[in-house]
Structure 1
Amino acid sequence: MSVAGSRNSIGVEIAGLGHYAPERIVTNAEIEQQLGLEAGWIERRTGIRSRRWAHDDQALSDIAIAAGERALERAGLARKDVGLLLLATSTPDHLLPPSAPLVAHRLGLSRAGGIDMAGACAGFVYALSLADSFVRTRRVPVLVIAGNILSRRINPEERASAILFADAAGAVLLAPSSRENAGVIGCELASEGDGYDLIKIPSGGSRQPFRMGLDPIETLMSLSDGRAVFQKAVAMMTDTSRAALTQAGLSISDIDHWIPHQANARIIEAVRGRLGCSADQVISTVPDYANSSAASIPFTLSKGAEARDYRSSQVVLFSAAGAGLTGGAVVFRL
């Protein structure tokens, strides 16, 4: 995806970053005791030490607004100039209406369109690629927020989901830039529908609607085959990352920062090994914040700014894969 060429070409820059994680810390010990697991079992297999869960009075819109507010404040742009809000989430406030219009309203984005994007763990990668294109064509800022409250979709009796998932939100405000080579310089999106049922919430959609007498377990997340999810996620993240790098004309050694979806440490390490990425290039929040699906990449990008020195012209690789199966990778020049 090339951005150079026309006399009127513009680039896309990150004007502001924001993140939010609920205050409630849930340790491994709490979950291990609940599931009858020995101490240390979760960290050995996932790299996760703790995670954040929302309070009972918090909805998805609340944590999305907290992250978005931070990004807008850091950017210092007039809120009336933001043209679009993309909200990547699998846990909206309601099945209907979408949550994005409410979030835009409460953030004071008086002239912005707003839409939810249900891309599961890859939702941010999809939203970022679309936002970049909108900024280039419409020449207005776009706010991308990804957030999830997965603690309310966890099946506490299913080990595969109970140990992994968390709540968080991350936000990225994109704006037009005079630097034509800034923004998305490589993008590869993918889907693999033969893995459609590997991760799902069985009830609540048109295939299996809510009904009287429905077992509550049917409304919670289920991972039917953890080994298959691992293998397919690693392959999808690796393949799309290589393709995006090729589009950008870069190799993995040219990447300053790699921020993968924070699925778990084993998946991150497996993809890192296949890509030949050094440990120094990786930014991860999985030990203390676990897996918040689509939120994990922008959350980690923003959280990482506290320790990393992000500079203009550095290159960041984002990689993700999740339910659907859907995934992708974006190469972004800061």
Structure 2
Amino acid sequence: MSGFYPSSLIGFGHAVPKRQVFNAEIEAELGLDHGWIERRTGIRSRYWVGEKDCLTDLAAQAGRMALDHAAISPSEIGMVILATSTPDHLLPPSAPLLAHKLGLACAGAVDLAGACSGFLHALVLGDGLVRTQGQMVLIVAANILSRRINRQERASAIIFGDAAGAVVLAPSGHGYCHLVSSALTSDGSYYDLISIPAGETLMTMRDGRTMFAQAVRIMTECGRKVLHQANIAPDAIRHFVPHQANARIFDAVASQLQLNNAVTARTITDYGNSSAATIPLSLSLGRHQYHKGDLVLLTAAGAGLNGGAALLHFNGQNPS
């Protein structure tokens, strides 16, 4: 039955592989000075999967944690959206396998390839499904990028890691938080800045400086738009959870949005850049910090170019 329902986030989850890779290992491989990576990116370590690990297993760990945190039965999930750029196979999609691994019998399941802004696209789409269909939606953003980087290409080798993050959306006005406003955008004129060409397996970053500038532009523009939509001043934001692409990128965005640096999540330090997974990973890791009345701004930009922003309002109890 379709209609109009409230929608709120009722569960958070995350997962990372066991192996933590510190900068010293990569700096030695690339002949970089000690501390070079952290100075340029804000990253000290990242997590990489083992040889036998697969995307859906990592995604299932985060999804299971979110379901447990929401304290719901798997049978209550009506839809699974998997935001990933590194599925287990090009065909078939990975979301049905993820749903199977989580015991989500009969739930719809679809992959969403939105690159680094994939979670924001999935969040907006999932919120719409909840509001019109009245069914719970599980969103998982997960990537295994360690298998897609060229270890000899400095631009990508120093940044990317593997991780998964998840949220559960429910037709309820009594969850932890709800979506206040959102903005999604794209700019295909910069389509080839970051790519994995058809038939190939390794990522190429063609122009890091241009990508940096365009990521700052898109994240700032979308952030301003959602604040304007909600009639919210920058000083009302209690938490800024940007895509963890590079600390210099999101610090520039925070500055242009006139946000205090103290409100910015910095999970990039320990977890690196896991593309679409960084925002839900950050939300799950930082959930003990959120309190009633808090406004949380999310922004992202990545390959495509795709980008977006969303504003969350925490309604009540702390979600820890």
The TM-score by the shorter chain falls in which range?
Answer: over 0.9
Counting only pairs closer than 5 Å after superposition, residues 23-172 of structure 1 correspond to structure 2 as 23-172=18-167
1:280 to 231, 247, 262: 262
Are 1:328 and 2:308 counterparts? Answer: yes
DSSP 3-state at the match of 1:283: coil
Partner Cα distance (1:130, 1:295) in 2: 16
| Deviation, structure 1 residue 313 | 3.7
Partner Cα distance (2:19, 2:292) in 1: 35
Are 1:241 and 2:207 counterparts? Answer: no
DSSP 3-state at the match of 1:19: strand
DSSP 3-state at the match of 1:52: strand
Q: Summarize deviations over 1:165-205 as a string: whole Å, max 9, x none.
A: 0000000001112359962221111101111000001232x
Please say if residues 11 and 182 of structure 1, whose CA atoms lie closer than 8 Å, have aligned partners that are also in contact. no
Please say if residues 4 and 134 of structure 2, whose CA atoms lie closer than 8 Å, have aligned partners that are also in contact. no
Counting only pairs closer than 5 Å after superposition, residues 143-292 of structure 1 correspond to structure 2 as 143-178=138-173, 183-204=178-199, 218-292=200-274
**Gap runs ≥5 in structure 2:** 315-320
Partner Cα distance (1:182, 1:297) in 2: 15
| Deviation, structure 1 residue 304 | 1.0
| Deviation, structure 1 residue 108 | 1.1
DSSP 3-state at the match of 2:50: coil
Q: Summarize deviations over 1:67-104 as a string: whole Å, max 9, x none.
A: 00000011111211111000000000000000000101
CA 1:181–1:58 in structure 2 vs 1: closer, same or farther (change >3 Å)?
Answer: closer
Q: TM-score, normalised by structure 1?
A: 0.91
DSSP 3-state at the match of 1:45: helix
Q: Summarize deviations over 1:114-146 as a string: whole Å, max 9, x none.
A: 000000000000000011111111111100000
Are 1:319 and 2:319 counterparts? Answer: no
| Deviation, structure 1 residue 281 | 1.5
DSSP 3-state at the match of 1:219: coil
**Gap runs ≥5 in structure 1:** 1-7, 205-217
Q: Summarize deviations over 1:254-286 as a string: whole Å, max 9, x none.
A: 222110000011101110110111122211200
| Letter of the structure 2 residue corresponding to residue 275 of structure 1 | L
| Deviation, structure 1 residue 248 | 1.4
| Letter of the structure 1 residue corresponding to residue 306 of structure 2 | T
| Deviation, structure 1 residue 111 | 2.9
Please say if residues 10 and 179 of structure 1, whose CA atoms lie closer than 8 Å, have aligned partners that are also in contact. no
- Percentage identity across aligned positions? 53
DSSP 3-state at the match of 2:85: coil
Partner Cα distance (2:175, 2:65) in 1: 26
Partner Cα distance (2:285, 2:176) in 1: 25
2:6 to 4, 7, 11: 11
Partner Cα distance (1:37, 1:139) in 2: 53
Are 1:298 and 2:293 counterparts? Answer: no
Please say if residues 220 and 256 of structure 2, whose CA atoms lie closer than 8 Å, have aligned partners that are also in contact. yes
Q: Summarize deviations over 1:224-281 as a string: whole Å, max 9, x none.
A: 0000000000000000010011111212222221100000111011101101111222
DSSP 3-state at the match of 2:7: strand
Partner Cα distance (2:198, 2:106) in 1: 36
The equivalent of 1:208 in structure 2 is none
CA 1:141–1:313 in structure 2 vs 1: closer, same or farther (change >3 Å)?
Answer: farther
Q: Summarize deviations over 1:33-53 as a string: whole Å, max 9, x none.
A: 101111111011001001000
Please say if residues 199 and 224 of structure 1, whose CA atoms lie closer than 8 Å, have aligned partners that are also in contact. yes
CA 1:265–1:51 in structure 2 vs 1: closer, same or farther (change >3 Å)?
Answer: same
Partner Cα distance (1:136, 1:111) in 2: 20
Partner Cα distance (1:258, 1:313) in 2: 14
Instruction: Let me know the Cα RMSD of the aligned residues.
Output: 1.5
